[in-house]
Amino acid sequence: MSFSDETRNELTRVIPTARCCRIAELSAVYELDGFLLGRREQYLDFNNSSPLVARKILLLLRGLYPHLPTQVLVKKSRSRRTQMCTVRVLGVNATAKVYRDFKEQSLVDGGDYLRKKCCRRAYIRGAFLSRGSITNPEKTYHLEISTEQTRLAVKILHTINSFGLDAGITPRKGNLVIYLKDADQIVTLLNLMGAHSALLEFENVRVLKDMRNQVNRLVNCETANVDKTVRAAMDQIRDIELIDEIVGLDELPPKLYEVAKLRLENPYSSLKELGELMVPPMSKSGVNYRIRQLREKARQLEGLGPIS
């Protein structure tokens, strides 16, 4: 089972207690995948491919309207690989009652989203159950809700961002996709929807990924430093061997002779380590100065003159 399916299944077990929140969650499902049909025998449908989501829709409806006439339909595709579950509210009066409750929800002044925070959380949960998905955090951080309706896409975007998040919106294959890519903001949204188990799994994966990335950075940095030290040491040894071949190391001043001998005896040591081997010990900058003098001497012997 995918991480997205696990998150959705967890959310099907979150049943709000407040009447307003139940209406808000159902209204999101209806707005994204619902239909109001019929003339004489009117009925209202909630559609979803998941039987667990359909079961939750039925529980919410029966909790709100105990005597509401309902019907559950399951239609399988010809290949029987996919299915569509429909929870149908039957009758003109029952349909009118549910539809009126959806339309009478209180919106924020001058806005297009619900006034109460608890209802907004329930609305986002319903939207995710209908058209939401979340990528396995092992791969990347991405949560989205899609719809083909511009007005509804803007409403979902504003509802999410009303909690201080920074969701984006982009077109994709005829749909509008509301998305989050920041890990911290995805965690916040999972918490708002009530997907606490998914949140913990997401955070565990993120911590492990961050630790691996940090270790890799440290290893890469250390490897680069070692490579740099070794390359510099090999260049210094070539200079010292050139001096020894042409004039001999014995002709060098005592201070330069000491550094040259230590470098030949310790080809993989850093300048700091060479300084610690000297008697008395010398700072890294002091060793570097003497190494530079050896380099200038080698260049002069090659006829290149002193380096700038």
Task: Calculate what percentage of the chain has a pLDDT beyond 90.
Answer: 52
Look at residue 98 and tell me whether its pLDDT is greater than 80: yes
Domain boundaries, the chain: 3-194, 209-301
Which fold is adopted by the domain 3-194? Endonuclease I-creI (3.10.28)
Strand order across the 70-76 sheet: 34-37, 43-48, 83-90, 70-76
Query: Which pLDDT tens digit goes with each residue over 256-273?
Result: 888 888 888 888 788 888
Within a 13 Å sphere around the CA of 130, how many CA atoms are in the beta-carbon half? 25
Tell me, what's the pLDDT at 306? 47
Look at residue 308 and tell me whether its pLDDT is greater than 80: no
Tell me, what's the pLDDT at 79? 64
103 pLDDT tier (thresholds 50, 70, 90)? very high
Distance CA 260, CA 294 (A): 8
Most confident of 10-14, 81-85, 248-252: 10-14
Tell me, what's the pLDDT at 144? 97
Tell me, what's the pLDDT at 246? 86
**59 class by beta-carbon count within 10 Å (0-12 exposed, 13-18 middle, 19+ buried):** middle
Tell me, what's the pLDDT at 117? 95
Residue 141 backbone phi and psi in degrees, to 5: -105, 110
Query: Which pLDDT tens digit goes with each residue over 144-193?
Result: 999 999 999 999 999 999 999 999 999 999 999 999 999 999 999 999 99
The helix (run of H) or strand (run of E) holding residue 284 is: helix 284-301
**For residue 16, is the peptide bond before it cis, meaning its omega torsion is within 30 degrees of 0?**
no
Look at residue 243 and tell me whether its pLDDT is greater than 90: no
Q: For tokens 């606490």, what's the residue?
A: 196
pTM exceeds cut of 0.75: no
Mean pLDDT, to the nearest integer, of 47-62? 94
